[in-house]
Amino acid sequence: MHNLYAIVTYFGMGIGIAFVSLAPKFSAFAFRRVFMLLVGIAFPVVFLMMFQPDLAPWRGLLQRSLDVALAVSLILMTWTLVPSDHHARKAAA
């Protein structure tokens, strides 16, 4: 069951991050868009790499690297998509 959850999570996160990177608000932030698109592609690719027997000693590092990339992606999403206090006050006026 753990492996089934991993497949759904890794492929779902990859697709989700890639789609969010294509949001119109990211068009002004080329680096953020490219980073998130690459992270979205990396999720399923690195997940499939973890099945390689030669990479067995590195599976934990690969998984934690994706966790860090996910955290950075979530921060970039928040900075880009959630309006700041300044923008919220300007929109309310």
Distance CA 12, CA 18 (A): 10
Q: Which pLDDT does position 72 carry in this prediction?
A: 95
pLDDT average, residue stretch 1-14? 89
pTM of the full structure: 0.79
Average confidence (pLDDT) over 46-50: 91
pLDDT at 74 over 70: yes
The one-letter code for the residue type at 86 is H
Q: Structure tokens of 46?
A: 């690195």
Q: Which pLDDT score is estimated for 3?
A: 82
Give the CA count within 13 Å in the CB-facing half-sphere of 17: 29
